Amino acid sequence: MRVDTDDFARPCSCGKKHKIDVQEILIEAGAVEKLEEMMSDGFLKEYISPLLICDTNTYEATYDIMEDIYDRCQVVILEAEGLHADNHGVEIVEKNMEEDIDLILAVGSGTIHDISRYVAYQYRIPFVSVPTAASVDGFVSTVAAMTWDGMKKTIPAAPPICVIADTNIFAKAPKRLNASGASDLFGKYICLADWKIAHLLTGEYICKRVIRMEEQALKTVRSCIKGVAAGDEEACEELMYALILSGLAMQMIGNSRPASCAEHHMSHLWEMEVINGPLDALHGEKVSVGTMLAAREYKRIAEAVRDGKCYADPYQGMEEKLIRDTFGKKGLYEKTIEENTPDPMEMVSADRLNASLYKIADIIDEIPEVEELDKILKNGGCVRTVQDIGLTEDIIPLTMELSPYVRNRLSFMRVRKMLNIEP
């Protein structure tokens, strides 16, 4: 299928002029043949010195099917083992790329895309996305999620000018990767609730159309999840479409607000290794666990609200001692304070929060019940518990306290710091 990007740039009632930079999105079997045509005879013909960035696994998975494209590119193959989107990965690409590069092809999953889009932006070179798995929703994102000097950061980067998703490649990706992509989408239940609550409490900008796109992505992934787990090609294509839809939603806003909040903050916290050691888990797997933890906590609070056992106290400011004792031990105290300045909680008044509690409970009702969510994830072969990603239960309370500080973005997990819940 060809996704018509013009469709998303129509005037919108939110008042913002939504901009889509991706010119062409193809999701189908044989899409890379069309890419070869675009490069030899189509709108990519003007680029004469392309660089292809892949890793040892994605090289292996795509070489046969993309041989002609490999032949016409300078190729940098990164070692897949231990590869991260960080300074190190970027340095290797920079060291190996020739000076006259005029186009970058990212052939891989999330990490290869983050590295590629960062380099593309730094050198003002357009890039083409060739996803090798339906593993994340960031393929068309305008930001790169990078670890920079130990701190997880969202860095401005270039969106791709086109996405070439070949079903013959991504439907054959390891099931774990595609399950992880589905999990990345299920996280939208939490971040959409967070966005709606932030809008309710502070008047933060929101766009209903973008929300509807994310809800559409959620609906799609729910309907195809069993097929994805079975490796069904059509289901994987639908998953890829839903992931790209979520990515376009981010592009329309210009940041990850529509697609990432409390559930992603937990994932980022664990990646920063502030309260845990290195984890061998994929992005979506950590998001999956964050989604379950946030859902359970939000539902608990909604129930307390309806039982009349929840009320808000005035905000006490950032927990500087806690931040010092945790992030500080990793040398990240100043950076964490800096990230949280101005404090997004200063906009939240206890009065408005108390007056909004029932509305918040209604928003939380839109998240499936914990048991149902657990069942959906199980059907998709997705991970669900802290144990699944190599953590233990005792990390949960501190994860909920600290994770809101990894990003300057208002989540209900952060607002929760003002809430008292009677037993």
CA distance 105 to 307: 55
Q: How far is the CB of 14 from Zn ion (least distance, A)?
A: 3
The residue assigned the tokens 């305008």 is 142
The interface region with Zn ion, picked from 9-17, 274-282, 309-317, 349-357 by CB under 5 A, is 9-17
Sole binder of Zn ion in the list 1, 9, 14, 20 (CB under 5 A): 14
- Tell me how far, at minimum, the Cβ of 109 lies from Zn ion, in Å: 12
Q: Which of residues 208-237 bind Zn ion (CB under 5 A)?
A: 209
**Structure tokens of 150?**
């130990």
Q: Which is nearer to Zn ion, 173 or 207 (CB)?
A: 207
Is 396 a binding residue for Zn ion by CB under 5 A? The answer is: no
Binding segment toward Zn ion, per CB under 5 A, in 7-15, 315-323, 332-340, 412-420? 7-15
Task: For residue 207, state whether it binds Zn ion (rule: CB under 5 A).
Answer: yes
Span interacting with Zn ion, options 14-22, 149-157, 310-318, 413-421, rule CB under 5 A: 14-22
Interface region with Zn ion, contact rule CB under 5 A, candidates 62-70, 177-185, 302-310, 401-409: 177-185
Length reported for the chain: 423
Pick one of 1, 9, 12, 337: the residue that binds Zn ion (CB under 5 A): 12
Distances (CA, A) of 97 to 113, 116, 128, 214: 16, 12, 16, 37
Output the smallest distance, CB 360 to Zn ion, in A: 23
The sign of the dihedral angle between the CA atoms of 243, 249, 255, 256 is: negative
Report in angstroms how near the CB of residue 235 gets to Zn ion at its nearest.
Answer: 20
Longest CA–CA separation in the chain, Å:
69
Nearer to Zn ion, 36 or 137 (CB): 137
Residue 349 host element (H or E): none
Instruction: For residues 180 and 381, give the distance between their C-alpha atoms in angstroms, rounded to a whole number.
Output: 9
Q: For Zn ion, which is the closer residue by CB, 264 or 417?
A: 264
306-308-314 Cα angle (round to 5)? 110
Q: How far is the CB of 2 from Zn ion (least distance, A)?
A: 23
Taking CB under 5 A as the criterion, the residue among 36, 114, 166, 184 binding Zn ion is 184
Nearest Cα neighbor of 178 from 229, 126, 113 is 229
| Burial letters 146-158, b for 16+ CB under 10 A, else e | bbeeebbbbeebb
* Site stretch for Zn ion (CB under 5 A), options 108-116, 195-203, 206-214, 312-320: 206-214
Taking the complex as a whole, the smallest distance from the CB of residue 146 to Zn ion amounts, in Å, to 14
CA–CA separation, 404 and 334 (whole Å): 16
Return the number of the residue (260 or 340) whose C-beta is nearest Zn ion.
260
List Cβ neighbours of 419 (8 Å cut-off, separation of 6 or more): 301, 310, 311, 312, 313, 353
Residues 6 or more apart whose Cβ sits within 8 Å of residue 347: 201, 202, 204, 410
Considering the complex, state which of residue 9 and residue 421 has its C-beta at the smaller distance from Zn ion. Answer: 9
The stretch near Zn ion (CB under 5 A) out of 12-20, 103-111, 224-232, 407-415 is 12-20
Encoding tokens for residue 306? Answer: 């309806």
Positions in the binding site for Zn ion (CB under 5 A): 12, 14, 184, 207, 209
